[in-house]
Structure 1
């Protein structure tokens, strides 16, 4: 199983280098010896223009297991990230990365685009944090908190 996952992750890395969305980044973290750890990727997801998320590049961690692509990766934003579909520990509630919605054909590119879409289009049927209550009751306050959060994640130059 590990050979299959490493082969797929190597291919994902090559594909990403050739074709990735503008403003995004995704790269394996380094092992202590300097080699790439294909099982743990650090990604940056830009907020969409014209949304309260604009101006931020949000750090996403993708942790793959040796069972990938049969099993979805664990995707997380920083702990206490303000979003209705992000648990306090940073784990993301998104159908394409949950066991029930996962398909082995889903790529890293599709994951990061899915997370970007979720930022401005929360799934109100699957709340994971108290941000949901603010989103539902006071959209002005919610957008203000999102804009404040965007300042904490400026683009890396």
Structure 2
């Protein structure tokens, strides 16, 4: 078993014992090939709750985490659904966050729990220094009212989907 697979199996066991309320993080099922239907520890299906008393609250957001065999030397790729509305999420859904960038703040000691909590925090606290998507960034900077309306609209679409 590779170092990445051992670490991910260990992190999954730790997660099952102790994880933040409302979060989900589990191995995905392989979609093709000889392992179709079996659990794939290199791909995780996650759900991140919006923080209470924020525009993102009362909704849970789906996220996938994809790891390579180079993990934990290289960070996972974290993706919301395509078209997710947020200044720090690319149109493809990929999250732009310094702790997910090996050239910035990624460290092999960062846990999946820390990544998911960091993404939860990013939802309500966008980083205007690192825009990934034009419209949400411009609205966040120039028209907070419209930005807030779009965030609420998106949150409404993710309520009760768990």
Where on the TM-score scale, by shorter chain, does this alignment land: which range?
A: over 0.9
Deviations along 1:7-56, whole A, 9 cap, x unmatched? 00000100100010000100111125432100000100001111100121
| Higher mean C-alpha deviation, range 67-76 or range 23-32 | 23-32
**2:63 corresponds to 1:64:** no
**2:116 corresponds to 1:112:** yes
TM-score, structure 1 normalization: 0.95
**2:139 corresponds to 1:139:** no
Deviation, structure 1 residue 74: 0.6
Alignment match, 2:96: 93
Alignment match, 1:129: 133
Deviation, structure 1 residue 141: 1.0
Deviation, structure 1 residue 99: 1.2
Deviation, structure 1 residue 152: 1.4
TM-score, structure 2 normalization: 0.92
Structure 1 alignment gaps of length 5 or more: none
Q: Which runs of 4+ in 1 moved over 3 A?
A: none
Q: CA RMSD in A?
A: 1.2
Alignment match, 1:149: 154
**2:71 corresponds to 1:48:** no
